[in-house]
């Protein structure tokens, strides 16, 4: 079942003035709670809520493993490490009604901008989708209400994200996502110099864990987690392709790894060999967009298809690469493939 996200309307925990990046290591000398042990050893002025936020975000390790339970009782002699970075202050973006793609009493489908994480990370003050959504719903409705998370996108991926707005919707959504009954379609701009893939193909190689934290996932020949992605070339220019990717499984970085393995890395995806510049233009991020989501409404039992318009950076790069002419922009800004010619009844 999805996890109910804590409300983000409360004031975030504050650091004492001048606190720089923090790195702390110590060994427990007696049985003591993790949060209390940290409070005793951290600079004066670090609040209890800040310590808890670091623990919950995974910034605290016990014996080399993340420990997210503030009440965990340390055994004498265990090693505790804390590593926290404090980036420059960020402007909190507004989440407005234009980001709502579909909403009723049971479902909420939104258009996530690129660069926004789904949840709080090691910097609790950084904006994230759930927090901005709760703030928006509180302004609009007086309270955020229920938000159940059933899917996730990488931070740099834009597009469709679905959430439950009622407890009664959870069972039907979970059944469809776990049963792979939800059809997810992504758009990707990929490097194609010297490569001409078939019009469509299926990649089924399993995926393994990265060799290092933050590294690329590995393609495996036999062992690993089963993974399947269906690909279709939608448009082509001399140096790039616009590809539709439909993952049939939900592995980490699945589309990115499968395209890189085919010699078609996503533009801007340096982790998987994608170029950061193309025809003299910088590529600001991995050009991957969650375009369409198709499923049965969990309560009304009718088909639901929601699409997110292509973001500005994606559409501009398509235009620069000469791919826009093969696509039309719908009224909402969503990119649609050219319709097939009408059948006039004459033999071709």
Question: Active-site residue numbers?
Answer: 154
Q: H-helix or E-strand containing 292?
A: strand 288-296
Alpha-carbon span 133 to 155, nearest angstrom: 16
Alpha-carbon span 86 to 57, nearest angstrom: 14
Give the CB-side neighbour count of residue 8, counting CA atoms within 13 A: 21
Q: H-helix or E-strand containing 191?
A: strand 183-191
Alpha-carbon span 306 to 294, nearest angstrom: 7
Question: For residue 120, what are its two tokens?
Answer: 């709080």
C-beta of residue 190 within 8 angstroms of C-beta of residue 267 = yes
Spatial CA neighbour of 336 closest among 305, 302, 313: 305
Spatial CA neighbour of 242 closest among 136, 325, 143, 130: 325
C-beta of residue 233 within 8 angstroms of C-beta of residue 215 = no
């Amino acid at each position: 079942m999805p996890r109910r996200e804590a409300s983000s309307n409360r004031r975030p925990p504050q650091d004492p003035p001048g606190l720089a990046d923090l790195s702390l290591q110590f060994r427990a000398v007696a049985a003591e709670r993790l949060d209390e042990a940290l409070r005793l050893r951290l600079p004066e002025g670090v609040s209890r809520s800040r310590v808890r936020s670091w623990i919950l975000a995974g910034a605290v390790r016990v014996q080399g493993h993340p420990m997210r339970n503030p009440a965990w009782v340390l055994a004498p002699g265990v090693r505790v490490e804390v590593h926290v970075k404090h980036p420059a202050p960020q402007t909190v973006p507004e989440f407005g009604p234009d980001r709502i793609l579909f909403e009723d009493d049971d479902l909420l489908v939104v258009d996530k901008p690129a660069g926004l994480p789904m949840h709080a990370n090691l910097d609790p003050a950084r904006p994230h989708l759930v927090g901005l959504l709760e703030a928006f719903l509180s302004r609009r409705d007086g309270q955020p209400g229920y938000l159940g998370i059933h899917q996730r996108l990488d931070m740099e991926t834009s597009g469709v994200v679905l959430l439950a707005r009622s407890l009664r919707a959870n069972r039907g959504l979970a059944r469809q996502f776990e049963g792979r009954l939800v059809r997810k379609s992504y758009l990707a701009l990929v490097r194609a110099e010297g490569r001409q893939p078939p019009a469509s193909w299926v990649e089924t190689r399993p995926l393994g864990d990265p060799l290092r934290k933050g590294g690329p996932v590995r393609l495996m020949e036999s062992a690993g987690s089963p993974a399947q992605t269906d690909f279709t070339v939608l448009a082509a220019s001399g140096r790039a392709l616009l590809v539709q990717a439909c993952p049939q499984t939900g592995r980490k970085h699945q589309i990115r790894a499968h395209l890189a393995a085919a010699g078609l890395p996503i533009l801007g995806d340096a982790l998987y060999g994608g170029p950061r510049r193309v025809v003299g233009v910088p590529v600001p991020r991995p050009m991957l967009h969650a375009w369409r989501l198709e499923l049965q409404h969990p309560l009304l039992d009718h088909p639901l298809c929601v699409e997110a318009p292509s973001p500005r950076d994606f559409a501009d790069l398509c235009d620069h690469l000469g791919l826009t002419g093969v696509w039309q922009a719908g009224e909402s800004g969503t990119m649609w493939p050219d319709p097939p010619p009408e059948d006039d009844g004459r033999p071709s």
